[in-house]
Structure 1
Amino acid sequence: MLALAILLLLVLIVKFKLNTFVALIITAFVLALLLGMNPMEIPNAVLGDQGVGNILGANSVIFIFGGMIGRLVADAGGSYRIAHTLIEWFGVKRLQWAVLIASFIIGISMIFGVGMILLIPIVFAVAKEAKVPLLYLGIPMTAALSSAQGFLPPQPAPTAVATALGANVGMMLILGLVVAIITAVVGGPLFTKLAQKYAPDAFQKKDSLPAVGEVKEYDLKDTPSFGLSVLTSIFPLIFMIIATVYKMIYTGGVTPENPSMMDSIIDFMANPAVAMTISLVFAIFSMGIWQKRSMKQVNASMAEATNAVAGILLIVGGGGALRGVLVTSGFSDNVAKLFSANGSMSPVMIVLFAWAVAAVLRVSVGSATVAGMTAAGIMVSIVASQSNPTMAVLVALAIGSGSLIASHVNDAGFWIFQEFFDISIKQTFQIWTVLETVISITGLLVILAMTMLLI
């Protein structure tokens, strides 16, 4: 029945070009009927506490505020400052690493498409000045953005998957940083060397880039300092990491029955929505008022961010609708029973299964977010049967890893890459599709190693 629903989703999106959110909601209703759910329970399963409401209710503030922080940093010139400062520090010989680090920092709080739009003009200008092929710097940039998108809260997909599985977002962030850094390095500078050998034609120096258009220029002396720009970009992470580490050290991850004042404060700060709210207030001052930007300009930046995030937010909600049907109908429980019929699944097998489910959905549906949310719905009961709470985090990371694999023509990211780097469709398959697969498999290997060490 799930296969039929996924086929319907593909037909609606690919054949009829229907809006992805609308297609997801329609598919969720059809899947509920195919699974034999009581018609009176279906609306709540799709739209209520188990479906769209479950995901958007908990995460909408995180997604929107995260987008606002990223846009405020960009519009104040902070992203420009980060990129150029690192490039100046690292020099021409280590340009790839400079671009990788800058893109990773910026990618923490900025969704993939917006990050590409922001960074491509900077990277193109640097590549032209350094007389190196655009892809030589573009691959590390893309690898960093993609890794952040797949593994790190407050990015929409990993945050939503963590919420759906009941995983600790702070722990997801800590372990996700390890996975994301390794995958970004392997998919960036290391993969570039391989790609230059088997697809040399893609590495041509370019004097112009049609997709860039008019490039917004900044005078470095008028931009925020490097330290303030980085601090604003990673401010939400600082809150969540400190809170998670504190709880691990002082409470063993378990909140005491009679918490101290400090425990209460840390618990409050550990809430991602609270961390994002405080971080946004800081960003309004650091990238707005302190930079002598008017509140009209600040509000314009935040409005633009809302528009950029809205589409992603709807897709996340639509994926939540599918998740709600899978949970409410008992489908995920049946999957858990099926795989535990001959004894409990080992932690390694659970991680492999989660990755494989997300990978198949990614190849079929295209959207990493939809693949991740649907896989989370299938895995939720298996995760709930595990006594170790770290398992939920590892499964969430495995789903994120699987949801990145083998991007091709049914994924918007494929066309974004092709257009921005001005390469052929064949070259896009050779570079982008393989790059996403390298990140996915590398991520899986790192997560499997973590599973064997932590579980």
Structure 2
Amino acid sequence: MEFLMLALAIGVLLLLIVKFKVNTFVSLIITAFVLALLLGMNPMDIPNAVLGDQGVGNILGSNSVIFIFGGMIGRLVADAGGSYKIAHTLIDWFGLKRLQWAVLIASFVIGISMIFGVGMILLIPIVFAVALEAKVPLLYLGISMTAALSSAQGFLPPQPAPTAVATALGANIGLNLILGLIVSIITAVVAGPLFTRLAQKYAPDAFQFKTELPAVGTVKEYDLDKAPSFWLSVLTSVFPLIFMIIATIYKMVYTGGVTPKNPSMLDSVIEFMANPAVAMTISLIFAIFSMGVFQKRTMAQVNESMTEAINAVAGILLIVGGGGALRGVLVTSGFSDTVAKLFSANGAMSPVTLILFAWFVTAILRVSVGSATVAGITAAGIFTAVVASQAGSDPILPVLVALAIGAGSLVFSHVNDAGFWIFKEFFDLSIKQTFQIWTVMETLLSFTGLLVVVIMAIVLL
């Protein structure tokens, strides 16, 4: 019966967003209240479940600092010309014959700290200019660019959805980042340069060489001689990851992956620096200097970049919070516990089975709702109790389930996903061509990611 109520609530969400065009955040909050009533919750408990420390507050909380500061770092790098420098340096290194790989790497590095839509807006003009110079179709380079951005969005903290899902499942962010890097790199290669070869054969009409694109407008260029150095730009972009990776490796090697009862001074310092909110704060301070003060940008210019970042992240942040409202109801109502009991009734579930089921449920939500963020966070709410009961003290299983949910959230993007229309407009494609390229690419990212996660589970668990 609980599953039927969830299905009805998803139907309400679709009706509000698709039929009545209600704002996504508002629709999510309304749906969360509806779901709580359908599940028979005490009306007095519903507001806290939706908005309190189990709902919106749980997901946003300290995560809001991670999301906003991450967006600020990305914007500071872009506005100083650092992203432009990264792209052009890699293109110069790789040469015209390996342009796809240069674009893939540049997009991946930049995409770590930039939400998908902002990354597209930033990179499309650069990649378009390169495509014109190389006399190749934009889509020839654009698939690799988009695959890298989408892969980072699906698997890597500090991107909003992976961070929120990992937090909800109690997964270690640092370990999530390390394993997520492996998954995202493999999926980006498969759905980027490799998929491009296939797409050119079955959808050749999409690969038209165009000298202008309506959605791109004037291509903004930077003076490469005055832009930040390549290595400083890369360091600033990945600075938050360095702390988390070092701390995770340190704990795995020296403390067995757990916090010691009597930590040394070094243990305490590393634990503090590895906290995602702390790492992002330190990284933002570094970015203000490396991409602002050291580049002779005024604080007014730096503040303008950070304000633009807040404006860009705000919409995503609200959707993440709305997804958290659904998660809060699923956990507080006992729905998540019901799912856990359902699985435990048939004995302990194998890790691979749990991973496959988490991917499947997320995939259904993704196809139904459209938003990868909503699908991922909702699925995390469904599987919170299952993961807690099956993982015990094992730090790897929650991470693998989080990555499987990330993979499921990317599958079969179609007309109810904003990314579908962003891709269509930027690359000036027909709806048929967008299905042929974007939808297939996203699905390939999803299945490849799932395959890598399953292999990890077999090897590591």
Shorter-normalised TM-score: what interval?
A: over 0.9
In structure 2, which of residues 90, 96, 114 is the aligned counterpart of residue 92 of structure 1? Answer: 96
Within 5 Å, give how 1:23-38 maps onto structure 2: 23-38=27-42
Q: Could you say which residue in structure 2 is the equivalent of 1:335?
A: 339
Q: Could you say which residue in structure 2 is the equivalent of 1:190?
A: 194
Does the CA-based 8 Å contact 2:129-2:219 persist in structure 1?
A: no
Q: What is the TM-score with the length of structure 2 in the denominator? A: 0.98
In 2, distance between residues paired with 1:216 and 1:169?
36
Q: Could you say which residue in structure 1 is the equivalent of 2:267?
A: 263
Q: Could you say which residue in structure 1 is the equivalent of 2:108?
A: 104
Amino acid at match of 2:458: M
In 2, distance between residues paired with 1:283 and 1:243?
21
Q: Could you say which residue in structure 1 is the equivalent of 2:9?
A: 5
Figure out how many residues of one structure are paired with residues of the other and give that number.
455
Tell me if 1:450 matches 2:456. Answer: yes
In structure 2, which of residues 54, 75, 86 is the aligned counterpart of residue 71 of structure 1? Answer: 75
Tell me if 1:293 matches 2:297. Answer: yes
In 2, distance between residues paired with 1:69 and 1:213?
25
The offset of 1:60, in angstroms, is 0.2
Secondary structure of 2:345's aligned partner = coil
In 1, distance between residues paired with 2:198 and 2:277?
41
Amino acid at match of 1:93: K
Tell me if 1:156 matches 2:136. Answer: no
Within 5 Å, give how 1:245-260 maps onto structure 2: 245-260=249-264
Tell me if 1:404 matches 2:410. Answer: yes
Amino acid at match of 2:116: F
In 2, distance between residues paired with 1:85 and 1:58?
35
CA RMSD in angstroms comes to 0.5
The offset of 1:270, in angstroms, is 1.1
Q: Could you say which residue in structure 2 is the equivalent of 1:225?
A: 229
Secondary structure of 2:225's aligned partner = helix
Q: Could you say which residue in structure 2 is the equivalent of 1:147?
A: 151
Amino acid at match of 1:219: D
Does the CA-based 8 Å contact 2:336-2:382 persist in structure 1?
A: yes
Does the CA-based 8 Å contact 2:156-2:176 persist in structure 1?
A: yes
Secondary structure of 2:260's aligned partner = coil
In 2, distance between residues paired with 1:256 and 1:368?
37
Amino acid at match of 1:419: E
In structure 1, which of residues 405, 419, 423 is the aligned counterpart of residue 425 of structure 2? Answer: 419
Secondary structure of 1:409's aligned partner = coil
Q: Could you say which residue in structure 2 is the equivalent of 1:369?
A: 373
Unaligned runs of 5+ in 1: none
In 2, distance between residues paired with 1:196 and 1:439?
18
Instruction: Tell me which moved more, 69-78 or 337-346.
Output: 337-346
Secondary structure of 1:32's aligned partner = helix
The offset of 1:268, in angstroms, is 0.1
Give per-residue Cα distances to partners, 1:82-117, cap 9 Å, x unaligned. Answer: 000000000000000000000000000000000000
In structure 1, which of residues 46, 50, 71 is the aligned counterpart of residue 50 of structure 2? Answer: 46
Amino acid at match of 1:392: P
The offset of 1:344, in angstroms, is 1.1
Secondary structure of 2:126's aligned partner = helix
Give per-residue Cα distances to partners, 1:247-271, cap 9 Å, x unaligned. Answer: 1111011111110000000000110
In structure 2, which of residues 113, 122, 136 is the aligned counterpart of residue 118 of structure 1? Answer: 122
Secondary structure of 2:318's aligned partner = helix
The offset of 1:219, in angstroms, is 0.8
In 2, distance between residues paired with 1:188 and 1:215?
24
In 1, distance between residues paired with 2:311 and 2:39?
36
In 2, distance between residues paired with 1:339 and 1:260?
41
Identity %: 83
In 1, distance between residues paired with 2:207 and 2:343?
46
Unaligned runs of 5+ in 2: none
In 2, distance between residues paired with 1:389 and 1:355?
19
In 2, distance between residues paired with 1:41 and 1:389?
32
